[in-house]
């Protein structure tokens, strides 16, 4: 069974909850979340650089970063709790700030109607969280993920395309990644 987690986005009010089916522990999801958020600034208006125009914009960017295909991540309504999660990550902050993250370990398995006791593990900026995780798990290496079924399907679909078709798709993917603020696209689609 996987280690489930909830990532809760809260500006002036809670805007979204992202449920992760597995790898929700701090040295997994926590590290990935901290690495993505470190150096971001919450703004009030669209600005250049690693910024988010409010918490709603930041939530959308985080979700776009993590959601790469079917399964694993699910968007839940604001206020969702007690759905089997072992960790909760509350992402919060205001304009002019680096996002802050509160990490909680959820104790025990209770029904959705019962409040679950939590233990506060960390509360600070995303940059400080990345440092906290690095100090607590100093030999942690991020693993390269195995190709998924969706990767195999994509490869099978793209393989018969000619170079011009591949380049057109690669250019479209790059534009979509830039629009979403994702800078890790290689710009190539390989068979």
Report the C-alpha gap between 4 and 176 in whole angstroms: 29
Q: Quick: pLDDT tens for 87-143.
A: 999 999 999 999 999 999 998 765 555 667 889 999 999 999 999 999 988 876 655
pLDDT band at 182 (very low <50, low <70, confident <90, very high): low
Name the phi and psi angles at 8, rounded to 5.
-110, 130
> In this predicted structure, what is the pLDDT of residue 35?
95
Whether pTM exceeds 0.95: no
Extents of the domains making up the chain: 5-136, 149-180
CA-wise closest residue to 98 among 38, 8, 56: 38
Residue 175: which residues within 8 A CB-CB, separation 6 or more? none
Q: Model confidence at 161, in pLDDT bands (50, 70, 90)? A: low
């Amino acid at each position: 069974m996987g280690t489930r987690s909830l990532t809760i986005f809260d500006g002036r009010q809670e805007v979204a909850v992202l449920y992760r089916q597995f790898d929700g522990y701090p040295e997994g999801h926590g590290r990935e979340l901290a690495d993505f958020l470190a150096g971001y600034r919450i703004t009030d208006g669209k600005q250049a650089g690693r910024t988010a125009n409010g918490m709603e914009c930041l939530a959308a960017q985080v979700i776009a970063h993590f959601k790469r295909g079917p399964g694993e991540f699910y968007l839940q309504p604001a206020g969702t709790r007690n759905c089997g999660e072992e960790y909760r990550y509350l992402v919060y902050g205001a304009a002019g700030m680096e996002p802050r993250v509160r990490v909680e370990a959820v104790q025990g398995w209770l029904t959705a109607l019962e409040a679950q006791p939590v233990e506060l593990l960390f509360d600070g900026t995303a940059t400080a969280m990345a440092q906290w995780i690095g100090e607590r798990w100093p030999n942690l290496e991020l693993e390269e993920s195995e190709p998924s079924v969706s990767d195999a399907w994509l490869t099978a679909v793209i393989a018969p395309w000619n170079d011009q078709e591949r380049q057109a798709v690669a250019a479209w993917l790059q534009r979509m990644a830039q629009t979403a603020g994702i800078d890790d696209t290689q710009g190539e689609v390989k068979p």
